[in-house]
A and B are shown apart, each in its own frame.
Chain A
Amino acid sequence: MLELKGIDVYYGDLQALRGVSLTVGAGEVVSVIGSNGMGKSTTLKAISGLLHPRAGSIQFQGRDITRLTPSAIVELGISHVPEGRQVFPSLTVLENLEMGAQFPEPIRRAGQTLEQVFAYFPRLKERLKQKAGTLSGGEQQMLAIGRGLMSLPSLMMLDEPSLGLSPLLVETIFEIIEQINQQGTSLLVIEQNVFHALGISHRGYVLEDGGVALSGPSRELLADPHVRKAYLGL
């Protein structure tokens, strides 16, 4: 459903991605792993239209989305839950969730989607009238994922969902991410927590120096000597 073909992305004169190719199939969970500064977040930003590649193309459900605006890309069904959550601190939890639904169909079904979000994250329902800025880091992550679900995405991209969370909360978040996938949403997950990422994904890509160094089924990557040495410290 999503296909990146050899994209080059630059920040000014600095090249961040070199010919990255990657696919996500319908219903699939794909993880992208790699150390800091290797281009993981940049890849997601290129897909969601925050950055535009200088070369290569991005196709989504058979459509070329390489040059579309972030808003148009959300409307087509890609939702990006960014690193650092990026919730709206002075808006209430409910308002944050409402802002997740910007287009006619998601707005029409907002009530139903809200119930679904509360089923995943009962905590959010308790905090409905509270300002998002007063939430804990874990609650903000739940809110960011919930907000991302409000646009009824067929592909959801998660950037470091476990960053800064307690181990117990990380378990919870990953369980819910799996549930979201079982409801039919494809996922593209970036994680530093390589064990977890490969644990929940079908396939994985290893990014090194802005290019794909290695890719394959997650089980094979977990057994790969390079991955074990560089990312798992085994």
Chain B
Amino acid sequence: MSLALAFQLLIQGILLGGIYGLTAVGLSLIFGVMGVINFAHGQMMVMGMYISYWLLVLLGLDPYLSLPLAAGAIFVLGYVMQSTVVNRILDFPEAMQVLPLVAMGLILENLALLFWGPDPRSPSTALGLATFTLGSATVDVSRLIAFGLAIAFTVFLVLFLKKSATGKRIRAAADNRLGAQLVGIKVDRVNNIAFGLGAATTGAAGALLLPLMPVSPYLGHDFTTTAFVVVILGGMGNLLGALVGGLILGVTESLATLALPATLKQVVSFGLLVLIMLYKPQGLFGGRR
């Protein structure tokens, strides 16, 4: 094994890990506030990808410019999902919460199939092939931008939750739903916003991912499980934990290709999941509940 190759893989892993982290941050936020696991998360990310794909192909809008639109559209999708479906199932046993959300994922996946067909599409973007060298490694400019924005969005989201009035309401409702109702917080609406924000981060991740990999309707499922593994790795409901967990998973998957065929990367992520469940089930950085 050459050191140069390992360094190249390490960089790629870190950069992709940032995007894993960003989608996982959204999943973790949704879990932290509502206590539900959004099994449609990866499918929502794919929707974000297709929206920026459409804006690119139809209007010539670069994914970095269409990102706010993709994130905004997926925010609305998340808001509507929460207000129509998820708010009704919050008190259900966990096993029963899974089904409606898996169903939402299937619906989104099949909508993508209906609109865009089964073939993977990889549009060429302005910065798609731009690279520069760092020591012995080649760095994709779009990966670097994606990484930087992923970190920036996560930090922004954490600050929003910490400082803004809406963010404080979200944390209050997550902490104690009864207490939040009794001070007059409209908990349902706060939940809608929280789900919308979690969805928007994964929509943004989708837009960032578009220049990096071909988009197909079936991508969503893998990303749901990836985000799920990352969230468990970082601690359920812990946003910064999700970001760091994303980086760890990105690097591990990437470096594992030194020894394993790339098609086996899911073995690596699920292997990591099993190890965490066995030895540190509360996650590396501790979860909320």
- Distance between Cα atoms of A91 and B172 in the complex (Å): 7
Shortest Cβ distance from B169 into A: residue: A99
Known pairs A88-B171, A91-B168, A91-B171; A99 contacts B183 (CB<8 A): yes
- Say which one of A70-78, A174-182, A201-209 lies at the interface with B: A70-78
- A151 and B179 form a contact (CB under 8 A): no
Residue among A69, A71, A90, A147 with max Cβ neighbours from chain B (10 Å): A71
- Is the CB of B268 closer than 8 A to any CB of chain A? no
Residues of B within 8 A of A48 (CB): 182
- Is the CB of B185 closer than 8 A to any CB of chain A? yes
Known pairs A70-B184, A71-B184, A74-B184; A98 contacts B168 (CB<8 A): yes
Residues of A within 8 A of B184 (CB): 70-71, 74-75, 102-103, 151
- B181 and A70 form a contact (CB under 8 A): yes
- Distance between Cα atoms of A69 and B185 in the complex (Å): 10
- Distance between Cα atoms of A69 and B168 in the complex (Å): 21
The size bracket of the interface on A is 20 to 34
Interface majority SS (helix, strand, loop, mixed), chain B: helix
Residue-by-residue, is A146-169 near B (CB-CB < 8 Å gives 1, otherwise 0)?
A: 011011000000000000000000
Shortest Cβ distance from A99 into B: residue: B172
How many chain B residues touch A (CB < 8 A): the figure is 16
- Is the CB of A95 closer than 8 A to any CB of chain B? yes
Interface residues of B in 159-197 (CB under 8 A from A): 168-169, 171-172, 175-176, 178-186
Residues of B within 8 A of A95 (CB): 168, 171-172
Residue-by-residue, is A76-102 near B (CB-CB < 8 Å gives 1, otherwise 0)?
A: 000010100011111100011011101
- A86 and B185 form a contact (CB under 8 A): no
- Distance between Cα atoms of A80 and B180 in the complex (Å): 11
Residues of B within 8 A of A70 (CB): 181-182, 184
Q: Least Cβ distance of B244 to chain A in Å?
A: 20
Residue-by-residue, is B250-289 near A (CB-CB < 8 Å gives 1, otherwise 0)?
A: 0000000000000000000000000000000000000010
- Is the CB of A50 closer than 8 A to any CB of chain B? yes
Known pairs A90-B171, A91-B171, A91-B172; A102 contacts B178 (CB<8 A): no
- B182 and A86 form a contact (CB under 8 A): yes
Shortest Cβ distance from A72 into B: residue: B184
Identify which of A69, A90, A100 contacts B183 (C-beta below 8 A).
A100
A-B pairs with lowest CB-CB distance, top 8 = A74-B184, A86-B179, A88-B175, A102-B184, A70-B181, A71-B184, A88-B172, A99-B172
27 A-B residue pairings within 8 Å (CB atoms):
A50-B178, A50-B182, A69-B186, A70-B182, A70-B184, A71-B186, A74-B182, A74-B183, A74-B184, A82-B179, A82-B182, A86-B179, A86-B182, A88-B171, A88-B180, A95-B168, A95-B171, A95-B172, A96-B172, A98-B168, A99-B169, A99-B180, A99-B183, A102-B184, A102-B185, A103-B184, A147-B183
Seen from chain A, the residues whose Cβ lies within 8 Å of a Cβ on chain B are 48, 50, 69-71, 74-75, 80, 82, 86-91, 95-96, 98-100, 102-103, 147-148, 150-151
Extra A-B contacts (17), CB below 8 Å, given A88-B172, A99-B172: A50-B181, A70-B182, A70-B184, A88-B171, A89-B176, A90-B171, A90-B288, A91-B171, A95-B171, A95-B172, A98-B168, A99-B168, A99-B169, A99-B183, A102-B184, A148-B183, A151-B184
